[in-house]
Amino acid sequence: MTALVLTAHGSKDPRSAANVRAVASRIALLRPDLDVRIAFLEQNSPNLVDVLGGLPDVRKAVVSPLLLASAYHARVDIPKQIVRAGAHGARQAGVLGEDDRLVSVVRERLAEVGVCARDCEVGVLVVAIGSSDRAVNARTATVAAKLAAETRWAGAATAFVTGPQPSVAQAADRLRSRGARRLVVAPWFLGPGRLPDRVQAFAHHEGVAMAAPLGAHRLVAETVLDRFEEALAGPAAAA
C-alpha cells in the first residue's frame, strides 16, 4: 500500500493541527487505497522523521507537503528530514502553489462574506506569509491577479504578514488610493492559527470583513493528490 505522508509545518495553535487532520481525512475518503499519514516538521507530533521510520517500506512513500509556497520548509527542511530518517527511496511531492483550484476556494470564501464579482467598490486584500525568497513572493502575488480577473472590483492587492513589504496596512492604503471604499481580507492560509489571528486583529481594528482560510476544502485535498501523483511518476527524493 502506497503511503501519502501529509506533512505540515506545525504550530502551537491546536486549530492548525486539527485542520491538517481534517485535510487528511478528506484525502483518505477520496483515495481509500492509500495509507494516509500525518507528520509535522516541528511544534507538533508525530515528527516527519518518526513517521518515515515507522513505515514498512519507504520506497512506497510520498512526502506530500501541506504547504502553499516552495520556500525554506519545502526546499530544505523536508529533504533534510527525509535524509535524517534514512528514508532512501521516498519521494517528495511539490507544494500546493498558486493552483487555480485553490484560488477558486478563496473565491468561495469571499462569497461567504458577501463579496460579489460585480462590486466596483470593493478592494480585496490577499494576505500571505512572506518569504526571504523574492521569487516565492512574486509567485504568491499572482493570487491577487487571478482573483481579480473578470471582476469589477476596485482592485486586489497582496500583503505579507511576515517578512517583506507591502505590509497589510500598506496594501490596504494602496487599495483605498485606487478607489476601494470597502476592503475585504482574503487570507492565503491553509488553516487557522496565530498568524491568521494577527491578520484578523488588523481586520477587526480596521472594521473590515475577513474571509475564512482555505481549510479542509475538497479542492485542497484534490490538489494534494495531484501533487502526490506527479511525485509517483518522478524520481525518489533520496537515493
Per residue of the chain (239 residues), give pLDDT as tens.
Answer: 899 999 999 999 999 999 999 999 999 999 999 999 999 999 999 999 999 999 999 989 999 999 999 888 899 999 999 999 999 889 999 999 999 999 999 999 999 999 999 999 999 999 999 998 999 999 999 999 999 999 999 999 999 999 888 999 999 999 999 999 999 999 999 999 999 999 999 999 999 999 999 999 999 999 999 999 999 988 655 44
| The model's pTM | 0.94
Sign of CA dihedral 108, 110, 115, 117: negative
Residue with cell 478563496: 106
Residue 84 burial (10 A CB sphere; 0-12, 13-18, 19+): middle
d(CA 166, CA 174): 10
Phi and psi (nearest 5°) for 46? -80, 150
Sign of CA dihedral 106, 111, 115, 120: positive
Please list the residues that pair with 187 across neighbouring strands.
Answer: 127
Please list the residues that pair with 37 across neighbouring strands.
Answer: 5
Q: Are 34 and 4 in contact (CB under 8 A)?
A: yes
Nearest to 212 by CA among 69, 96, 116, 110: 110
Q: What is the 3-state secondary structure (H, E, C) of the chain?
A: CCEEEEEECCCCCHHHHHHHHHHHHHHHHHCCCCEEEEEECCCCCCEHHHHHHCCCCHHHEEEEECCCCCCHHHHHHHHHHHHHCCCCCCEECCCCCCCHHHHHHHHHHHHHCCCCCCCCCEEEEEEECCCCCHHHHHHHHHHHHHHHCCCCCCEEEEEECCCCCCCHHHHHHHHHHCCCCEEEEEECCCCCCHHHHHHHHHHHHHCCEECCCCCCCHHHHHHHHHHHHHHHCCCCCCC
Q: Where are the domains of the chain?
A: 3-97+217-233, 100-210
pLDDT value of residue 237: 52
CATH 3.10.20.30, domain 3-97+217-233, yes or no: no
Whether 3-97+217-233 shares its CATH topology with 100-210 is answered yes
pLDDT value of residue 163: 82
CATH 3.40.640.10, domain 100-210, yes or no: no
